Each structure stands twice: as structure tokens, then as C-alpha cells.
Amino acid sequence: MHTLGNQVLKKTVNMIEEALFGHQPPGRPFAGAWAPAMGSVDDRLDWSWPNARTMTTKATLLRSLSIAVNNRQSTTILNEPALTKTAERPITLKHESDELRWSKLMANAQTGDEADYRQLLSELTDVIYNFLCSRFGNHHFTEDCVQETLIAIHQARHTYDKHRPFRPWLFAIVRHKAIDILRKQSSRQRVTSQYKVEQEVLSQVSQQNEADNEIIRGHLLESLSEEHRDVLVLTKIIGFSVAETAEKLSISKSLVKVRVHRAIHKLKKMMEADQL
């Protein structure tokens, strides 16, 4: 069912893009040299996820397409035949064009240009969202983190030097905020109605794997060991207390705390080593 759903959705998106951009790439519509040149839809929908069907909601689709429209100018440039010979070059060029544009927008924002600043933050929202989604999955945490990061960017905007590259500056803030929010998450334990349902699901052993797949999508979380991932997801993402987590996993509360601490430390190391 998932495969069928993915195929239907791919075709739909493909048709819409064809209508928008007036061309269709040969062969696989979302792979090869064309995909990085687009640099938007394929990245954002991430078809490889086991639950892509559930993720590709109408909102996600529309957001992805709006980004694709925003990127239309760079897409046009990048789709020049000479530039699409290799898959790497368009990515580099797109990064460079983003880099230059963001740098310029931020320099204007420093002078008080509201329109440029609004445009910059709008573009960065998507970039940050996708960055976090690919690493942590799509949770409330991701949404919170995007907001906190935007505020941090606002507070730190005076430290951006237009002579330095923009991306390292941006992602240093994003990484720091992500870890910071994970650490602080315990102080505002929340169990949303969505996760109350999740709790019921978790209690049923037979369905636990399915629930895990829903929660764990980001490659950083996936690369953690199972014991670290379990405590992190339960305490920081779902929002269970340490005591509840200890009870669910049949371990002591102190062991939960130790594992959470180690898991965050590992995540921090992995994020620092993350090459963009």
C-alpha cells in the first residue's frame, strides 16, 4: 500500500511540476542529475522513509511546491545542459547561489530592510525544517526547534559578517539550538493528544515497531543505539517523565537519566561532525 501511495503521489507532484516548469526530466523523475538541480521536492518529501505516505500530507506537498516555485530562478539556471552533466556541480552551484543570496539578504537586514529580512527568514525556515527533519524526524520538537532557531538568528543577526560564508554561521546556530532544546525539553513535559494515542499504541507490544517507525525518521536518531534512542524518544520527543520512561522500559530512573545524557552527548557529537 505504501509503495502504491508513493507512486501515485510522485506522479501527482510530477504533473504539477511539469505544469509549473514546463518540462519533464527524462527517466526517473526524482533522481539523477535533475533531482539535485531541483533541490527541493525530492529532498523534502524523502521517499525513502518507511512512512512517506503518512508524511506527505497536503500541507507538506504544498509547502514543498511553494519552495520549488521560490527556487525557480536558480532551477532555471541549474537546468542548463552544460551544468547538469554531473550531479555534484548543480548542488554546489545551488549552494553558492543560496549562499550569496542569503548573505546579501542578511546584509540588507542588518541595515533594517524588513522585506529582505522577511524573505530570508521564510527561506531559512524551510531549510532549517528540512535539516532537522532529516536528522530527527518530524515531531513537535522539530517545529519548536525551527521557531527557537529563527529567534536565535534574529538575536544573532548582528554577528553575521558578510565577508564570511553564511551557511556555517546558520548551521552553527541550528545545531546548537537543536541540542539546547533537547536538553531543556524535560522541563516542559508535554503529552499532546496525539501522543496520548501513541502511548496506547506503545503499550501494545505487537504494534510497537510501527509506532517507532512513525516517531523515528531522522537519520541521527536512527544511528543511535536502541537503548539511547528509546529513552530519548520517550522523554524528549513524546514527553514522558523520567519515572514513566523508567517504568515503560523496566529500568531505573537514574539509568534513564544517564542514557538521556549520553544520547544527547552522542547527538551533539554527530551534529558537530555533520558535513553540510
Partner 1 sequence: MNKHESLISDLSSNLAPVSPPPNINRLAIAWFALSAIYVVAVTQLFGPIRPGAITQLSTEPRFLLETVLGVAAILWFSLLAFRSAIPAALTRQFAAAGLVLMALWLAQYVVGFISPALEPSKLGKRNYCYFETMVYSLPVILAGLFFVRRLYSLRPVRTAMSISLAAGMLPALYMQLACMYEPAHILAFHILPGLLMVGVGAGIAAWWRLRHPDFGKR
Residues that bind partner 1 (CB under 8 A): 59, 63, 107, 109-115, 117-118, 121-122, 125, 143, 146-147, 150-151, 154-162, 164, 168-169, 171-173, 176, 272
Alpha-carbon span 82 to 75, nearest angstrom: 13
Residue type, 34: W
Q: What's the closest the beta carbon of residue 167 comes to partner 1, in angstroms?
A: 9
Q: Which is nearer to partner 1, 23 or 164 (CB)?
A: 164
Alpha-carbon span 256 to 66, nearest angstrom: 42
Q: Which is nearer to partner 1, 106 or 246 (CB)?
A: 106
Alpha-carbon span 161 to 242, nearest angstrom: 42
Q: Which is nearer to partner 1, 153 or 232 (CB)?
A: 153
Q: What's the closest the beta carbon of residue 252 comes to partner 1, in angstroms?
A: 30
Buried b / exposed e over 205-224, threshold 16 CB at 10 Å, is eeeeeebbebbbbbebbeeb
Helices 166-184 & 140-156 angle (0-180, nearest 10):
130
Q: What's the closest the beta carbon of residue 68 comes to partner 1, in angstroms?
A: 15
Which H or E run includes 96?
helix 88-110
Q: Which is nearer to partner 1, 100 or 172 (CB)?
A: 172
Q: What's the closest the beta carbon of residue 158 comes to partner 1, in angstroms?
A: 4
Q: What's the closest the beta carbon of residue 28 comes to partner 1, in angstroms?
A: 29
DSSP symbols for 111-167 = TT-HHHHHHHHHHHHHHHHHHHHHHH-SSHHHHHHHHHHHHHHHHHGGG--TTS-HH
Q: What's the closest the beta carbon of residue 153 comes to partner 1, in angstroms?
A: 9
Q: Which is nearer to partner 1, 111 or 193 (CB)?
A: 111
Around Cβ 178, how many Cβ atoms within 10 Å? 26
Q: Which is nearer to partner 1, 105 or 238 (CB)?
A: 105
